[in-house]
Structure 1
Amino acid sequence: MDYLLITGKLVIGIVFLLTIIRLLGRKELAEMTPFDIVYLLIFGGILEESVYDDKVSIWMLIFALVVFGLIVFVIEKVAEKSDKARIVLMGTPDYIIKDGKLNTKRMDRNMMEMEQLRIMLRQQGIFSLREVKDLIIEPGGSVSINTYARYKPATVGDLKLDKPEEDPSVLLVDGGFIKEDMLELVGKSKQWLYDRLAELGYHDTDKILYCEWSETEGFYVRTYDDTTDAGGRE
């Protein structure tokens, strides 16, 4: 097989790989969703099968990579615009521990054993479950932990302060779209969200870039006008 042909295919593959990574956004490996990883595996398979197959021309490789890139782009856009599609394609955070209580069904769903959970905690510098108030498995498999206030550095117990426990915040509006799964998690309705936002002066969720809420801290809202370019959505 012509060495120049192999070289050309590899160069084209690298160019398209960088393009697809740009489409996925700049993410660390731990931040990637399962679908992001699938994209890269499929891409690797396409390139591997074509590089050393002299029946696959450079133009055939370019065509396959262009089609693949368009599919990735469309799926990313659909997931961005549709909350239900995002849940199916990208997954959602899973509360394994909430308010100090284990959810064994979600542990089973994530195929997690107790010792695996303890290993995750130790890797975060936590050596007892009694310290953990909330533990969340993110879509990419990383772990987010909220410990009880008395176990945090410079604890309020040491300072003899009476501070209430902090609840983790949940993202209720993302890019103008209401996250119904998060509302269900905190036991709230869309009407409740509309009413509370209206009280704060936000009457149109389409103009909200980011809205999080916690029981202890309340709402934190940023609109598209709050961005550095203040240009709204594209």
Structure 2
Amino acid sequence: MRELLSIVIELSVGLFALLLLTKVMGRASMSESTPFDFISMIVVGDFVSDAIYDPHTHVYKVIFAILFWGILIYIIDLITLKFYQSRRFFESEPALIINKGQIDRKVMKKNRVDMNHLQMLLRDRNIFSLREIEFALLEPNGKVSVMRKSDYEQTNRNDLNIAQKSVSIPITLISDGVVLTNNLKRIGKTESWLESELKKHSVHEPKHVMIAEWRSEDGLYIQKIR
């Protein structure tokens, strides 16, 4: 019974200490935090777990560890505020992953981002086709910020008195040089059809294509590997 009571006390103290630390430091939610923020929360959480599972770790030691770690984070935040160059080390910086409509393969490799992941990030921003993008920045929190091409800027069709047009979801046919045969079947096309379409774009083999997507309204869109 005494051991259970000790766990309850340590959990309660640890919870309120973590909540207080988060409030004081003004941390964003985990989905919007930087890698440094994420590491900080893991380390602080580990302090609390030690208090629960290690009988030799007293609750006062946990409180001290959390407070000391909070002080370190606060000092680092002050450093990043006063010295701009330090932000690159502690917080990293945005990476221009799409420049003037062209995907930068080197930036993708450097940030460990593949084509599927990039497309997922763009869909999260309600962008389903790469042809719509002029610039895209990969932010330190893992999300992307996008500037659309002028032709694809969102407007209210009712304000312009424009008739509605049907839209469809783009289907990826080639990703990183690999033909996605299942997607070809979904649109009722064959690999020989794809090869002939690639030749129209002066592409002789799929391995030279970074991304190829099909949309019924616009046809085939291709970006080559550079």
TM-score range, shorter chain: 0.5 to 0.7
SS at match of 1:83: coil
Q: Which residue of the partner structure matches residue 6 of structure 1?
A: 7
**Is residue 34–residue 141 contact of structure 2 (8 Å, CA) maintained in 1?**
yes
**Is residue 131–residue 147 contact of structure 1 (8 Å, CA) maintained in 2?**
yes
**Is residue 149–residue 155 contact of structure 1 (8 Å, CA) maintained in 2?**
no
Q: Which residue of the partner structure matches residue 82 of structure 2?
A: 81
How far has the Cα of 1:60 moved from its partner?
1.8
**Is residue 27–residue 37 contact of structure 2 (8 Å, CA) maintained in 1?**
no
CA distance in 1, matches of 2:123, 2:100: 19
Question: Structure 1 unaligned runs (5+)?
Answer: 160-234
Q: Which residue of the partner structure matches residue 150 of structure 1?
A: 151
How far has the Cα of 1:121 moved from its partner?
2.2
CA distance in 2, matches of 1:29, 1:53: 27
Residues 23, 122 of structure 1: alpha-carbon distance in 2 compared, 3 angstrom cutoff = same
1:139-174 C-alpha deviation (Å, 9 max, x unpaired):
110111111121122289x96xxxxxxxxxxxxxxx
Q: Which residue of the partner structure matches residue 107 of structure 1?
A: 108
C-alpha RMSD over aligned residues: 2.2
Residues 10, 105 of structure 1: alpha-carbon distance in 2 compared, 3 angstrom cutoff = same
TM-score w.r.t. structure 2 length?
A: 0.63
Residues 109, 23 of structure 1: alpha-carbon distance in 2 compared, 3 angstrom cutoff = farther
How far has the Cα of 1:26 moved from its partner?
4.6
CA distance in 1, matches of 2:24, 2:88: 19
Farther off after superposition, 52-61 or 88-97 = 52-61
**Is residue 135–residue 143 contact of structure 1 (8 Å, CA) maintained in 2?**
yes
SS at match of 1:73: helix
**Is residue 137–residue 143 contact of structure 1 (8 Å, CA) maintained in 2?**
yes
TM-score w.r.t. structure 1 length?
A: 0.61
How far has the Cα of 1:2 moved from its partner?
2.3
Farther off after superposition, 58-67 or 137-146 = 58-67
1:52-75 C-alpha deviation (Å, 9 max, x unpaired):
322112222222222112112111
Identity fraction in percent = 30
CA distance in 1, matches of 2:113, 2:104: 11
- 5 Å-filtered alignment, 1:52-91, equals 52-91=53-92
Residue identity opposite 1:85 in structure 2: S
Larger Rg: 2
Q: Which residue of the partner structure matches residue 213 of structure 1?
A: none
Residue identity opposite 2:114 in structure 1: E
Total equivalences in the alignment: 158
Q: Which residue of the partner structure matches residue 131 of structure 2?
A: 130
Structure 1 segments of 4 or more deviating over 6 A? Answer: none
Residues 108, 23 of structure 1: alpha-carbon distance in 2 compared, 3 angstrom cutoff = farther
